[in-house]
Structures are given as C-alpha cells and as structure tokens.
C-alpha cells in the first residue's frame, strides 16, 4: 500500500469496481498521488482527479515517472537556482561552479557539477577537494539526479556521504499566482531588502547569519522579502528571487504560535504575483524529502518534483 512518502509521485492503483460470475472486476488509475487519508486516496490522471476509497484498493504502488526532465532542463534550472542564491566566493573548474560562503547552507558551499569540468571525473573530484581545502571547508558537491549519476557513483565509491535527499519542485507560475488572496489575514509586505525582524526570524531557522549569508540573500538584482505582521509581531517570512524566467522561493517560515492559519501560502501567493509582474513564468523551490509537512504544503500549492539532488561531502581525514 502507498504511504505519505509517495505523495506527489507517479503511482498506479488497481481498484475493485464490481464482480462478474463471482469474480472481481478491476480498473487501474495511473497518475500522480495528490491526497492520501485514512479513508481514500486521490490520483491525478490524464482525465482529471480520481478519488478512490481505500476499501476498493486491491493493489497500489509507485511507478517510474516517464516525464523525467531532459538533462538540459535540469541544467538550466540548477543554474537559475545558483544565480538566485549567490555565494560571495566563487571559482570555476571548466564549466563547474565552485561556491563558498563561510559554511552557511549546503548550496552555497558546494560545487555545482553542471557541464564539462575539463577533466576526467576522478581528477575533477580531486580538484574540487583541493579548492575547498584551500578555503578551509570540507569538500562538498551538489549532485543533481539523474543528471549526475556517473559522478555520484564515483563519490559513493570514494566514501563520500550525503545529506538527506532534496526535492527540486516546480509549478507553472500563473497557477501559483492565481491562488485566491486572503483578506481575512494581515497583508503581506514586500520589500527589496530584509528588515532586522525578517533577518532575526531567518537566523533562528538557520542558526545565525554570517556576513556571507547577507550577501546570498541580497546580492540578486530582482528579489523581494515577504513579511506578515500582526501589530508589531512578525508572524511569517519568505524570500523570492527572479532569475531568467524562473521564480525561486525560499526561507518560508512561520513562527510556531501562528502556524496552520495559511500564512505560508499567503506569503508565497503575494511573492508569486510580484514575480509574475517581473516576467517570470515558472516557479521552483527546494525541500528535503524527509520534511513531509513542507512537502505536503508545497504539493497543495501545485508543486511537483522536477528532479532531486544529493549534497555529497568528503569523509573527514583521520
């Protein structure tokens, strides 16, 4: 049977739809699992949403997604995301991007292996390790999958461990921007620079904000910082950046006492409408697969998995 980890993935569900001559009749639903409750599941098929009572389910399983994006699409999105999260210290190894930011976030302190490094992969890994050692950082490489499968195999064979799997999720921006506004909630304030209160909430989530973090957050030409207040109390924040036609949303955070009121959707919707006015047509975000609450929220907003990545890091020296 399917579980919560299958939400957003392509599945096939065989259900009992009747009987004939004492034998059950079956029907299959193939599509993306959108909802799973204690009583039913909902599959988005080519013909629309199909709601199936669990009592009718004979078998159900996850199946491969035949819509796997082309390598060029994965590369384009990863490069757009890199521009939206710019590390203050950068280098190049052929077409690979090397990034350092005082250790603040994995994305800004790892190599992005898109394109040709100009060396065979084993030597390229050695060069990456040397660059990060020279900057006082443990070597890390963000490996998009399945794009970087050959590189990932080499790193695994060398004993490079990895952080939790990260989902890169996307949605058409018009659909995200069309979400109804919530006049019952406090208005969303959008600013070109983060306030001290915004930074304080972000620091609480990320465990501090070094100078490199402030560079990452603000060194983008087209960026907005969302805030939702109740009086003088900041309840929710989010950050949105537009690079090419992509809108990237990050640092969505609601203070604990204000959660489950729709504030995250409220802030993301306001940023999406702003991004649409800036010429963006597609939206993306990155979320750890194990963060099931966030994954469910984003799927409810229409996001689906585009690809995955693993942040691999070198074993510590003895």
Phi-psi region of 156 (alpha: psi -120 to 50; beta: other; left: phi over 0): alpha
**pLDDT digits over 134-170, tens only?**
999 999 999 998 889 899 999 999 999 999 999 999 9
173 and 301, same domain (yes or no): yes
Average pLDDT over residues 167-182: 91
- Tell me: pLDDT of 318 over 60: no
- Tell me: pLDDT of 115 over 60: yes
The sign of the dihedral angle between the CA atoms of 64, 69, 70, 75 is: negative
In a domain, 316, yes or no: no
At residue 64, the pLDDT reads 74
- In the predicted model, what is the mean pLDDT of the chain? 92
* Cβ density class 14-44: b for 16+ within 10 Å, e for less: bbeeeeeeeeeeeeebebbbbebeeeebbbb
Phi-psi region of 132 (alpha: psi -120 to 50; beta: other; left: phi over 0): alpha
Average pLDDT over residues 53-74: 85
The CATH number assigned to the domain holding 237 equals: 3.40.630.30
- Tell me: pLDDT of 107 over 90: yes
In a domain, 318, yes or no: no
In a domain, 312, yes or no: no
In a domain, 219, yes or no: yes
The string of DSSP codes covering 224-287 is: EEEEEEETTEEEEEEEEEEETTEEEEEEEEE-GGG-SSSHHHHHHHHHHHHHHHTT--EEEEEE
91 and 57, same domain (yes or no): no
132 and 190, same domain (yes or no): no
- Asked which of 15, 43, 62 is the last residue of a domain, the reply is 62
102 and 178, same domain (yes or no): no
Average pLDDT over residues 181-193: 96
Tokens of 312: 């691999």
- Tell me: pLDDT of 265 over 80: yes
Range with the poorest average pLDDT among 44-58, 107-121, 248-262: 44-58
* Cβ density class 271-302: b for 16+ within 10 Å, e for less: bbbbbbeeebebbbbbbeeeeeebbebbbebb
pLDDT band with cut points at 50, 70 and 90 for residue 112: very high
Contact 32, 11 (CB under 8 A): yes
Tokens of 233: 């109390």
Residue 152, Cβ density class (10 Å: 0-12 exposed, 13-18 middle, ≥19 buried): buried
At residue 69, the pLDDT reads 76
In a domain, 179, yes or no: yes
pLDDT band with cut points at 50, 70 and 90 for residue 180: confident
- DSSP tag of 164: P
For 306, the enclosing helix (H) or strand (E) is: strand 304-313
Average pLDDT over residues 112-130: 97
Kindly report whether the global pTM for this prediction surpasses the value 0.85: no
At residue 71, the pLDDT reads 86
In a domain, 111, yes or no: yes
In a domain, 313, yes or no: no
pLDDT band with cut points at 50, 70 and 90 for residue 4: low
Average pLDDT over residues 291-307: 91
Contact 161, 269 (CB under 8 A): no
Domain containing 81 equals 71-164
At residue 137, the pLDDT reads 96
210 and 303, same domain (yes or no): yes
* Cβ density class 58-75: b for 16+ within 10 Å, e for less: eebeeeeeeeebeeeebb
178 and 297, same domain (yes or no): yes
What phi and psi values does residue 40 have, to the nearest 5 degrees?
-155, 170
- DSSP tag of 112: B
At residue 206, the pLDDT reads 85
266 and 206, same domain (yes or no): yes
Tokens of 149: 């499968």
**pLDDT digits over 213-248, tens only?**
999 999 999 999 999 999 999 999 999 999 989 999
Q: How far apart are CA 29 and CA 42, in angstroms?
A: 10
At residue 98, the pLDDT reads 98
Q: How far apart are CA 33 and CA 80, in angstroms?
A: 28
For 121, the enclosing helix (H) or strand (E) is: helix 121-134
Average pLDDT over residues 81-88: 98
Contact 249, 188 (CB under 8 A): no
């Amino acid at each position: 049977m399917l579980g919560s980890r299958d939400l957003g993935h392509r599945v096939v569900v065989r259900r009992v739809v009747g009987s004939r001559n004492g034998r059950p009749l079956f029907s299959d639903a193939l599509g993306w699992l959108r909802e799973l409750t204690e009583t039913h599941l909902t599959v988005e098929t080519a013909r629309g949403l199909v709601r199936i009572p669990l009592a009718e389910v004979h078998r159900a399983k996850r199946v491969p997604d035949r819509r796997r994006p082309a390598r060029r699409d994965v590369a384009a999105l990863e490069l757009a995301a890199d521009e939206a999260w710019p590390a203050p210290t950068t280098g190049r190894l052929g077409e690979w991007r090397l990034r350092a930011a005082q250790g603040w976030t994995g994305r800004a302190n790892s190599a992005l292996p898109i394109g040709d490094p100009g060396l065979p992969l084993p030597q390229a890994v050695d060069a990456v390790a040397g660059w990060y050692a020279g900057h006082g950082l443990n070597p890390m490489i963000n490996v998009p999958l399945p794009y970087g499968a050959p590189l990932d195999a080499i790193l695994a064979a060398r004993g490079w461990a990895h952080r939790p799997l990260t989902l890169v999720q996307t949605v058409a921006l018009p659909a995200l921007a069309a979400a109804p506004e919530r006049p019952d909630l406090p208005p969303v304030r959008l600013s070109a620079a983060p306030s001290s209160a915004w930074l304080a909430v972000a620091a609480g989530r990320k465990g501090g904000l070094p100078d490199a973090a402030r560079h990452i957050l603000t060194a983008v030409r087209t960026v907005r910082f969302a805030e939702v207040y109740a009086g003088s109390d900041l309840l929710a924040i989010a950050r949105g950046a537009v690079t090419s036609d992509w809108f990237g949303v990050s640092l969505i955070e609601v203070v604990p006492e204000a959660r489950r009121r729709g504030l995250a959707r409220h802030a993301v919707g306001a940023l999406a409408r702003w991004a649409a006015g800036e010429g963006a047509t597609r939206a993306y975000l990155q979320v750890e697969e194990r963060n099931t609450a966030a994954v469910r929220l984003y799927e409810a907003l229409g996001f689906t998995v585009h690809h995955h990545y693993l942040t691999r890091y070198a074993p510590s020296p003895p």
